[in-house]
Structure 1
């Protein structure tokens, strides 16, 4: 892992889904580069992970709007201010055709991936505006651009994240707060355990590089997006797709 000394010195971040996978990789990089991180997650290993990695932790279901608002105040109290929001919490839902898709699974995916992301942005943006500085990274997916068969809820919510972020970026342009989305192709992470092997194989077959991504490849992109270096791109989408996406 390549880090940049002091890039996040004096910067504090909230990362949803930060106890594992991409969120944890980004959290560890930000700390290594001088920043502080508050992790919002439901992971059973949250406390242990935060103690090991030097992170502040809040046990949280992002689909609970009131709990999200309270978590924002808790994180501001713990870190004094917030400069960065990275929303990487997400679930896949069922892997079945639309006509067989369980309604409860559909609603759960929408509540976590889209409503939860909205709640987090809504709660944190006022703090960024008060600072006159902020970076927001909303993690979407290549599925939100292209759609994956038998993953309609996941694809629909990730398309929603892209549209939401484009709107937010335009709202905040000129106010010191930049908001962009990341659309990774499938990479090695705990979320793959939610999918059947056939679905993972399908997604790998769509990547021209012929392999899944590595979490550090997307973490490096997120850290650029979350840093002062990303200063003239907002309401946009960054890909880490191994050549899969065409727009």
Structure 2
């Protein structure tokens, strides 16, 4: 199963590679050269297909935990001042996606979309300290009855040239459902309340819609006391 954002690219790539191989077959008399072009074409098509794959993910939906919005590796866990929406300190969890990861973005929590904004910007490497503030990015906030407001931010990297964001203000969304796509690599930051109990550590590998990265039940219980 492939993501809808890849249909045009997959079709264009397939047509182009078929044309290249037809031309090479008709114009190149050296067998090994034509064969090398064919093998290279197949490898390119496989890479494009795997990049736009969209596997179904069984999400364990709950108001008491946050699931990873993307596949990748946890590269940042730190307290930061989130100045776009909350304007206070939050616990930031950043997940880096390599070109071989699934690049579908999924809602980390279900609820109502309260904020959704696109920012044009630079294309610094995704692990650059200033990439979350200077790169092309989108910021989305989902309000959940149990978790409160959870912010996640798609950030373009040096290769990613387009961020797709489906979140619209007022929209009711399900945890783990498709919220967008980042073409050709990048990272996603999740901002949680201070004191949130994390289930991941630095360098952990996570799967979007499946891996539970944080448990917010403890915070809710503390507020009730």
Query: Which TM-score band applies after superposition, normalised by the shorter structure?
Result: under 0.3
Greater relative CO (CA pairs within 8 A, separation 6+): 2
Greater helix fraction, Structure 1 or Structure 2? 1
So what's the TM-score if we normalise by structure 1?
Answer: 0.23
Greater strand fraction, Structure 1 or Structure 2? 2
Larger Rg: 2
